[in-house]
Amino acid sequence: MLLTERQKDAIAEIINISFSRAAKSLNELTGSRVIISVPKIELIEVDELENTLKNYIVGEVTTIHQVFNGQVDGDALLIFDKEGSKNIVKILLKEESSFDELNEAMREVITEVGNIVLSACLSMFGNLLNVKLKFSVPKISLDSLSQMLKTFEFDRTEIRYALVIFMEFSLEGTDIKGFLVLIMGVTSLEKFIAEIDKLG
């Protein structure tokens, strides 16, 4: 399954609209302007996900995971590298001292950021595509990329795909690289693409 350039452009536009909403919420949370780069869209088979993400991110990652279901079902992941998640904490908690590990309070802060971004994106997806979505409470994990992906037990009865959206957004001049990953079965993905095509 491949995406046409027009479909990629349409998804990128939806992401821009969705993240503009998320950025507004983050502005209010941080008091800082949030700048978002043009997203890069890739549709890959889920077995290729680790190798694809390795092109952008290495080492330990911080992942906020949210399940969504309704007319389209899947998993939404927001992934930061370790330095990116530490930078988020420094900005939001105004943490000036150095630290190696994230404590419980720091994890709660990152989870809230993930909740803001993922909920805004999924809600806007649903509104723009005219599909009803429900989503779970987000969960955070800190692990290597390969270990994080092993925690998912993908349903092998239908081919699964991952829609990888690579972007950079900055807070107060600090570059934080984020990856939004949507994992869907073929039925949900076909529905998603069909709704994208309706946008013209």
Q: What is the CATH number of the domain that holds 69?
A: 3.40.1550.10
Q: What's the whole-model pTM score? A: 0.84
Long-range contacts from 144-147, C-beta under 8 angstroms, 24+ separation: 144/59, 144/60, 144/61, 145/50, 145/53, 145/54, 145/57, 145/58, 145/59, 145/61, 146/50
The reported pLDDT for the residue numbered 200 is 65
Note the maximum CA span of the chain: 51
Beta partners for residue 122, in sequence order: none
Residue 70: predicted pLDDT: 87
Looking at residue 74, its amino acid is: G
Ranges of the chain with pLDDT below 50: none
3-state class (DSSP) for residue 200: coil
Do 135 and 77 touch, CB atoms closer than 8 A? no
**Tokens standing for 182?**
């949507």
Find how far residue 74's CA is from the centre of its chain: 12
Q: Specify whether the CB–CB gap between 154 and 46 falls below 8 A.
A: yes
Rounded to an integer, what distance in angstroms lies between the CA atom of residue 34 and that of residue 26?
A: 7
**Rounded (10°) angle between helices 186-198 and 104-129:** 60
Model pLDDT, residue 111: 93
Q: Which residues pair with 114 in a beta bridge?
A: none
What is the tally of structural domains in the chain?
A: 1
Domain with 106, as residue range(s), is 5-198
Backbone angles phi, psi at 183, to 5 degrees: -110, 125
Instruction: Write the CB contacts of 122 (distance below 8 Å, at least 6 apart in sequence).
Output: 66, 68, 76, 133, 135
Please answer whether residues 164 and 84 qualify as being in contact, where contact means their C-beta atoms are separated by less than 8 angstroms. Answer: no
Eight-class DSSP state of 117: H
User: In the chain, what percentage of residues exceed pLDDT 70?
Assistant: 94
The per-residue pLDDT for 153 is: 56
Cα–Cα distance, 12 to 76 (Å, whole number):
16
